[in-house]
Amino acid sequence: MGLLDRAGARLTAQPEDAEILVVNTCSFIDSAKQESVSTILEMARHKASGRAKKLIVAGCLVERYRDEIQKSIPEVDAVVGTGELESVLKAAGLEPGSAPAAPSPFTILTTAHAAVRSGKEALSGTHKSRAEGDARERSGRFLRDAWAGASSTLPTYLYDETTPRLISTPRASAYIKIAEGCDHPCTFCVIPNLRGKFRSRRFESVVAEAEQLVARGVSEITLIGQDTTCYGEDLGFKDGLAALLDTLARIPNLKWLRFLYAYPNRITGKLLETIARHENICKYLDLPLQHASPGVLKRMKRGASADIFLKTLSKVRAAVPGVALRTSFIVGFPGESIRDFELLEEFIKEAKFDWLGVFNYSHEEGSAAYALEEQLPQRTIESRRRRLMKLQQSISRRQKKNWVGREFTLLAEGPSTETPLLWEGRTEFHAPEIDGKVFINDFGPLAELEPGRYYRALVTESHDYDLVARIVSPES
């Protein structure tokens, strides 16, 4: 977005107004690919009926199906892989730094996989229009025919603090990618094929970007990467993430700082001590564990077991009192027996996560697990996923009751997307976009709230995943 903006294009939120449409795709599991292709096909309709002149497909789907996309979807004008972001300008017919007399409106649609979100949307179906249904049918055909093997050249691109950037998240909150790629050998995962070898951004570059964002009014920063806990290993740092957090936490006016996607055996004492020491580092840890049965974890090439994970969780909870824990699991990995699954259930009961997402195993060409036999029927996989979500729903309902009557700092995000009668907000224990919500039904002594501002709030009700709160006062 930043590159297009600097070259004179203007962002619009309405695809029907855009002359340049960019679909930024995800393709690590089947449902993500489906969503990506459906979005491309939906946007292709704007070339026939709207103002669109260019349809560009960017991101991970390009790394997997580069040639097939253009061959099978002729409406697509250009593709931009994860390692060639700057070529989006050529694809859009723009020159770097040249501002055209009449700026072209552009829109970027980012597709992502919804099952990672915990809670009610993961349990319920979603309504699809007939056009969406047609697009889904065409996308299914595309995906059945398209596999062309993993990309032979791995991307090496890394952005830095000088890369132009438009912020699409609400003004107070921004993500910073601190590293790209992954060197872990997880057998179910094709992400290393799509994103390349693990490489960290320079320490100074991340700090400079964070300072720039805070100067632009951002008060919450979320650090991301395929594995944030490996940050700096390739640059020769030990405990690089802890050092980075320690430096970023000192930026004046940075209210909340967090990181996502920690690898379980990379949680060091130094990292936990750093989280505990700084008031503005959110007491929140996202630790995708994938499974708890030692046999399944071994075949996933992740190692460990429920006992080892429980020790890790105890260590985290002792070092960072009150920490909120998120994790995600995969059900239906090849050969997952009923006993393996029950071990996972027992582990979830014992571990009591605050937030939990469950993925159905997706059989991906190019992954090491693709060669494994003993595939489970889709029906079994889906019923196991639902069983875990039901279990977590009851754990979450009990845990959320403990919030009632307690006061928290709340970031007000704006009127609720679910009902105009309420506002929505988050505490430090809710990461942006992914965890449950805090609904605000009473502004207390205030006539109105301001999105992006922090307030003290009292939790008055709890539901399965969400909370209801009353504003007590502005945060001093």
Confirm if 258 and 282 have CB atoms less than 8 A apart: yes
Closest distance of CB 227 from ligand SF4, Å:
5
Closest distance of CB 55 from ligand SF4, Å:
29
Closest distance of CB 295 from ligand SF4, Å:
18
Helix (H) or strand (E) holding 395: helix 378-401
- CB closer to ligand SF4 out of 28 and 142: 28
Among 110, 86, 104, 84, CA closest to 20: 104
Is residue 264 involved in binding ligand SF4 (CB under 6 A)?
Answer: no
Confirm if 44 and 13 have CB atoms less than 8 A apart: no
Among 253, 252, 178, CA closest to 222: 178
b/e 154-166 (16+ beta carbons within 10 angstroms → b): bbeebbebeeebe
Number of residues that bind ligand SF4 (CB under 6 A): 9
Exposed / middle / buried, residue 143 (Cβ in 10 Å: 0-12, 13-18, 19+): buried
Which residue among 172, 182, 210, 313 contacts ligand SF4 (CB under 6 A)? 182
Task: Give CA–CA dist 386/123, Å, rounded.
Answer: 7
Among 238, 418, 49, 232, CA closest to 438: 418
Is residue 82 involved in binding ligand SF4 (CB under 6 A)?
Answer: no
Is residue 364 involved in binding ligand SF4 (CB under 6 A)?
Answer: no
Q: Which range in 179-187, 238-246, 428-436, 463-471 contacts ligand SF4 by CB under 6 A? A: 179-187
Which residue among 26, 76, 191, 467 contacts ligand SF4 (CB under 6 A)? 191
Binding to ligand SF4 (CB under 6 A) within 392-451 occurs at: none
Closest distance of CB 182 from ligand SF4, Å:
3
Is residue 266 involved in binding ligand SF4 (CB under 6 A)?
Answer: no
Closest distance of CB 181 from ligand SF4, Å:
9
Which residue among 47, 184, 298, 470 contacts ligand SF4 (CB under 6 A)? 184
- CB closer to ligand SF4 out of 263 and 423: 263
Is residue 233 involved in binding ligand SF4 (CB under 6 A)?
Answer: no
Among 66, 359, 11, 351, CA closest to 194: 66
Footprint of ligand SF4 (CB under 6 A): 182, 184, 186, 189, 191-192, 226-227, 263
